[in-house]
Structure 1
Amino acid sequence: MPDLKDLNNIYLIAAFIIPGLIISYMRSRFITGRMEKFSDAALGYLTLTLVYYGFALPLVGWILTFEQGPVKTLLWWSLLIAGPVVFGLVLGVATQREWLRWIANKLRLRMVHNTPTSWDWRFSNCQNARFVMVTLSDGSSVAGIFGTGSFASTDPAERDIYIEELMDVGEDGSWSYREEPAGVLILAKEIRYIEFKKEL
């Protein structure tokens, strides 16, 4: 690990680690919201930084044409901070929309899925409100609407879910709204499985 007391090492970390860290952070906002420990992900940050610099190389050449001064300093900081933010946003959107997977499928290539669990994948793709039925550990079930006012935890240690509006399910399988709308929070230990019904 570089000695952080050495000014030159601080510049190296700022130049080769921080852009990758920012890119990874912005990208994670579109997937699971989680990031790896710095010690485990440092090599990944370096790799992302190098890829980013590969795309930003024309900008580096352009910035070098400026005389030393506040404008050049501002451009360098924009390259180190604003550029990675934009690059991370683009990667995040591309990952969420699965553009790279679409390209790989066209080329008949198989990619490992970037979303770590089916829980993360299913709830990250709930763009429209839909009916859900949660079967609890005691065998009973809870039905309701999972929409914009609902929430599913992205913390792998606590997979709780909040359903914004409960519904009643009749013996014939028909769903009906309650007279007084109410939401419910269901803890992870109470969930056996979740059924996703049709969209509203």
Structure 2
Amino acid sequence: MAIPTTMFGILALVALVVPGIVFAGVRAWLRGYKWSDQTAASRVLDAVLVSVILDALYLWAFGALLAPILNDPQGELIANPSSLGFATVVLGLAIPAGIAFAWHADMTWTKPAWGWWPSWVQIPRRRSSFESTPTAWDKVAPRHSDVWVKIRLPNGERVAGWMSGKSFVSTYPQPRDIYIQEQFTISADGSIGDRIPNTGGVWLSITDGSIVEWINEPEGDTDT
């Protein structure tokens, strides 16, 4: 796909993509990812479809105001930059985000648990439990630090080690894997043993069927 070089081409590309991307981003934040969000092609198609619908509605409702911009976008940019910027924010960002929020948000008004908050003042909160993070691994795995980790692979092999600041886990859209900075022995019953001499860490691919267990270090036991 060739990148447009004319002002009209750039404007057309923005109009065909940006409103849909904003709509999809707010929708994913509110309701989580759909099955069609798994590939880039389907995401682009959804964004273009939403953008085309919104652009048609914009032309129907604000055609007279948008006609000068479409006729001479570069001239309008030079003559009225603030007006063009305002229109871009409203039509490209605010309206798509507002529609996505009104369509997909499941809100309720509740009183916060803070003791100092006035009882008669309520704030909106999401009632649904949808999560925009793609998987539980993506949500939880990167947050673990200064913990023991035990992994049982699909073939029955066990690996254990200590995770801290030099460890790393990969997340979506990359395949799951983990780097454990210090490897320890592990017995058949799952007990973690001694530190492997001269360990430089171990890398593992976390395939389907693997079991990963994180264990918080016992209080007062900091010798790894």
CA distance in 1 between partners of 2:11 and 2:150 (Å):
53
- 1:160 paired to 2:165: no
Question: What residue is the counterpart of 2:47 in the other structure?
Answer: 42
TM-score (norm 1): 0.50
Counterpart residue number, 1:14: 14
Query: What SS does the aligned partner of 1:17 have?
Result: helix
Displacement of 1:184 after TM fit?
Answer: 1.5
Shift of 1:183: 1.5
1:116 corresponds to which residue? 134
Q: Are the structure 2 counterparts of residues 155 and 67 from structure 1 closer, same or farther at C-alpha, using a change threshold of 3 Å?
A: closer
Matches within 5 A, 1:161-200: 161-169=178-186, 173-189=191-207, 192-198=210-216
TM-score by length of 2: 0.46
The change in CA–CA distance for 1:153 and 1:112 in structure 2 (over 3 A counts) is: closer
CA–CA separation in structure 1 for the residues paired with 2:151 and 2:15: 48
Could you tell me which residue of structure 1 aligns to residue 74 of structure 2? none
1:19–1:150 Cα change, 3 Å: same
5+ long unaligned stretches in structure 2? 56-76, 94-104, 111-124
Asked if 1:138 corresponds to 2:155, the answer is yes
Note the C-alpha offset of 1:12.
3.2
Alpha-carbon distance, 1:24 to partner: 7.8
Name the CA distance, whole Å, in 1 between partners of 2:127 and 2:24: 24
Q: CA RMSD in A?
A: 5.1
CA contact (8 A) 2:180 2:201 kept: yes
Tell me the secondary structure at the aligned position of residue 145 of structure 1: strand
Q: 1:141 to 1:104 in 2, by over 3 A?
A: farther
1-structure distance, mates of 2:190, 2:149:
17
Q: Is the 8 A contact 1:143 1:166 kept in 2?
A: yes
**1:153·1:161 contact (CA, 8 Å) conserved in 2?**
no
2:177·2:203 contact (CA, 8 Å) conserved in 1?
Answer: yes
1:114 CA drift (Å): 1.1
Paired AA for residue 12 in structure 2? L
Cα shift at 1:176: 3.4
- Relative to structure 1, the CA distance from residue 116 to residue 9 in structure 2 (aligned partners, 3 Å threshold; closer, same or farther) is same
Aligned-pair identity (%): 18
Contact 1:147 1:164 in 2 (8 A): yes
Check whether the contact 2:160–2:185 (CA below 8 A) recurs between aligned residues. yes
Looking at structure 1, the residues matched to 49 and 169 of structure 2 have their Cα atoms a distance apart, in angstroms, of 30
- Number of positions where the alignment pairs a residue of Structure 1 with one of Structure 2: 160
Which stretches in structure 1 are left out of the alignment for 5+ residues? Answer: 51-65, 84-99
